[in-house]
Copies of this chain bind each other. A is one copy, B any other.
Amino acid sequence: MLEQVPIKPRSIRDYHGIVEDDLIDEIYSLSKKITDLRILHINATKFGGGVAEILNNYIPLLQDLWVGTVWQTIIADDRLFEVTKSFHNGLQGKECKIGHDEQRTYERFNAYNAQLLEGDWDIVVIHDPQPLAIPYYLEKNHTKWLWRCHIDASEADANVWAYLDPYLKEFDGAIFSLESFIPDNFPIKKRYVVHPAIDPLSEKNKEIDQKLASSIIKSHGLDITKPIMTQISRFDPWKDPLGVIEAYKLAKKKIDGLQLVLVGSMANDDPEGWKIYQKVVDISKKDKNIFIFTNLGDLDINAFQSASSLVIQKSIKEGFGLTVAEAMWKENLVIGGDTGGIRLQIIDGETGYLVNSVEECAGKVVYSLNDPSVKGEIGKRAKEHIRKEFLIPRLLRDELRIYNELLEK
């Protein structure tokens, strides 16, 4: 058997009063039609990374609706993950060569996991490339197969695409996070788009007392009587932490006592990230108003998103950018890079600001810190926008619609 992931129970009722009743009603009625069905989600890891986080958020809700949903992970190790990491990079547009050994490793692990798959399923949802080849190794039956791609594959390297093509052909449908993530000539005909979403009840996003948020920020050494700008993002060139520091340096000339917070997470297998981190640390040694934190807990993240004066997400390239939705949900003002999914969330001047340069970013920081009414108005609209479009019940509804549609055929 594949590995079954333990699930802490949760209830869709808890979202009453947060999202529209109509949405909850639709979820109930969609789930009623498929109550008897068995749905299996398969991904690579139980813990760590965005995919496991999103599965942790919505699998318990599907189970609460009596949709017979199970989450299992493949049995694999770093030999597979090294290969699929290069697939991942290839899907994101990096050049990627797939040699004999890589192919053999990938196929061997998928064939092995296909044998481990037990039970009779109406729908199996495969997440990302790691377990993608499993259906290829199984006898055809009534099971519908969905590939859930969490990656922006619009500029995928041709080698990866060509290699994965026969495996993709086994699927009945594919789900992407954004329309623009779907590459030309994608071999699966039935394509769905389900935008990412945040969970308003998670540790990271639940409403916390403003006083608690301030105390937490204070406990990290910041002066809460002075303005704070915060970016929460990996130390990755596409997230442009060095650009954020430049913008801060420009803005602090006009804003007395401005503080900059950069919160990132680190991984051992990310040498580029460590290099940027080293640079950022070196810069912060010379400016006591720059604060660098790594691997903070969810409650700290929540506090910084809730009680910073404003939040930056100055990405140069971005998939969706969930940290934007997280901060907007807390009625904060977000200044974001004019790219990718950030554009869906920030309507420039309405629900936040979109910027294309360091100077523009600094300008918006100064402008909004000088006039607190800006944040008040934009923050309210930001929260409402996220409430309507980017909370987990909407994602649940979208997925249930797909399951229903798939089984009607």
Q: Which residues of A contact B (CB under 8 A)?
A: 3, 5-9, 45-48, 73, 77-79, 81-82, 206, 208-209, 211-212, 215-216, 219, 266-269, 271, 274, 277-278, 281, 285, 292, 294-300
10 CB-based A-B contacts, threshold 8 Å: A6-B281, A47-B267, A47-B268, A48-B268, A77-B82, A211-B215, A216-B299, A296-B298, A297-B298, A299-B300
* A299 CA to B217 CA, complexed, in Å: 11
> Given A3-B271, A79-B78, are A46 and B266 also a contact pair (CB < 8 Å)?
yes
Residues of B within 8 A of A277 (CB): 6
Q: Chain B's nearest CB lies how many Å from the CB of A330?
A: 14
> Given A48-B268, A266-B46, are A278 and B215 also a contact pair (CB < 8 Å)?
no
- Is the CB–CB distance between B219 and A285 below 8 Å? no
* A5 CA to B78 CA, complexed, in Å: 23
* A297 CA to B77 CA, complexed, in Å: 27
* A266 CA to B82 CA, complexed, in Å: 22
> Given A78-B78, A219-B209, are A266 and B47 also a contact pair (CB < 8 Å)?
yes
Q: Chain B's nearest CB lies how many Å from the CB of A234?
A: 13
Residues of B within 8 A of A79 (CB): 78-79
> Given A47-B266, A268-B48, A271-B3, are A292 and B8 also a contact pair (CB < 8 Å)?
yes
> Given A274-B6, A297-B299, are A209 and B216 also a contact pair (CB < 8 Å)?
no
Q: Which residue from chain B places its CB closest to the CB of A49 in the assembled complex? A: B268
Q: Chain B's nearest CB lies how many Å from the CB of A300?
A: 5
* A295 CA to B216 CA, complexed, in Å: 18
Q: Which residue from chain B places its CB closest to the CB of A301 in the assembled complex? A: B297
Query: Which of A82, A215, A292: most chain B CB closer than 10 A?
Result: A215
- Is the CB–CB distance between A46 and B268 below 8 Å? yes
Residues of B within 8 A of A48 (CB): 268
> Given A82-B77, A268-B48, are A8 and B219 also a contact pair (CB < 8 Å)?
no
Query: Which of A6, A274, A278: most chain B CB closer than 10 A?
Result: A6
* A281 CA to B281 CA, complexed, in Å: 40
Q: Would you list the 9 A-B pairs with minimal beta carbon distance, nearest first?
A: A297-B297, A78-B78, A6-B278, A212-B215, A45-B268, A47-B266, A6-B281, A297-B300, A6-B277
Residues of B within 8 A of A212 (CB): 212, 215-216, 219
Residues of B within 8 A of A300 (CB): 297, 299
* A281 CA to B60 CA, complexed, in Å: 13
* A3 CA to B272 CA, complexed, in Å: 11
- Is the CB–CB distance between A281 and B8 below 8 Å? yes
Residues of B within 8 A of A209 (CB): 215, 219
* A267 CA to B81 CA, complexed, in Å: 16
* A281 CA to B278 CA, complexed, in Å: 40
Q: Which residue from chain B places its CB closest to the CB of A292 in the assembled complex? A: B8
* A212 CA to B271 CA, complexed, in Å: 36
* A269 CA to B81 CA, complexed, in Å: 13
Q: Chain B's nearest CB lies how many Å from the CB of A106?
A: 16
Query: Which of A211, A212, A285: most chain B CB closer than 10 A?
Result: A212
Out of B6, B9, B82, B295, which one reaches A47, CB within 8 Å? B295
